[in-house]
């Protein structure tokens, strides 16, 4: 079994990384079900599900690497510009692509909060972890928008 990326001295961050790496398939399945049924993401219903699934798995794995501080903001931009272009080429409206990322972020927190509910770890560490996850998805959304604008020729 692959060892999880545990680089931080922070117990909560390490537990978060471990949970994501250990349960990324369950997270992805739950997210995919919601994404394909959600009224604000109808365009995904006709999309290549294998592509969406692979992308979702990659997002969870990248997030755990980001939390361990081994994934640069430049890598996030590269990754999500590409995802933005791909989603645009798939015919997914930008609003629905953004909603997809929002749903994915929400599913991460619902899962982690459920698994870590009884953890009485330091409040400041929990706040820092929340900020790291939020920053990851904020950067991902901006880069995805850039990918859309590049794909549609609005940004050169």
Q: What is the pLDDT of residue 6?
A: 43
Q: What is the reported pTM?
A: 0.75
Q: Going from the N-terminus, what domains does the chain have, and what CATH number goes with each?
A: 11-151 (1.10.490.10)
Q: What is the pLDDT of residue 68?
A: 73
Q: What is the pLDDT of residue 5?
A: 47
Q: What is the pLDDT of residue 122?
A: 60
- Per the CB < 8 A criterion, the answer to whether 102 and 9 are in contact is no
Nearest to 141 by CA among 90, 114, 117, 105: 105
Tens of pLDDT along the chain (156 residues) come to: 444 444 445 666 787 788 888 988 999 999 999 999 999 999 999 999 999 999 999 988 888 788 777 778 888 889 889 999 999 999 999 999 999 999 998 888 788 777 766 666 665 677 777 788 888 889 889 898 999 888 888 755
Q: What is the pLDDT of residue 9?
A: 58
- Per the CB < 8 A criterion, the answer to whether 38 and 99 are in contact is yes
Q: Which residue has the tokens 């692509």?
A: 97
Give burial (CB, 10 Å; 0-12/13-18/19+) of 117: exposed
Give burial (CB, 10 Å; 0-12/13-18/19+) of 95: exposed
């Amino acid at each position: 079994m692959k060892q999880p990326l545990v680089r931080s001295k922070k117990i909560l961050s390490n537990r978060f990384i471990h949970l994501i790496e250990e349960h990324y398939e369950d997270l992805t399945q739950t997210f995919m079900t919601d994404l394909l049924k959600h009224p604000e993401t109808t365009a995904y219903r006709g999309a290549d599900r294998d592509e969406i699934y692979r992308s979702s798995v990659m997002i969870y794995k990248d997030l755990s690497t980001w939390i361990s501080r081994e994934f640069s903001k430049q890598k996030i931009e590269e990754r999500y510009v590409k995802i933005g272009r791909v989603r645009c080429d798939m015919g997914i409206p930008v609003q629905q692509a953004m909603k997809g990322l929002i749903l994915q972020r929400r599913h991460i927190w619902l899962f982690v909060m459920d698994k870590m509910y009884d953890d009485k770890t330091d409040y400041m560490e929990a706040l820092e972890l929340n900020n790291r996850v939020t920053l990851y998805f904020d950067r991902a959304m901006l880069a995805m928008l850039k990918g859309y604008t590049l794909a549609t020729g609005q940004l050169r």
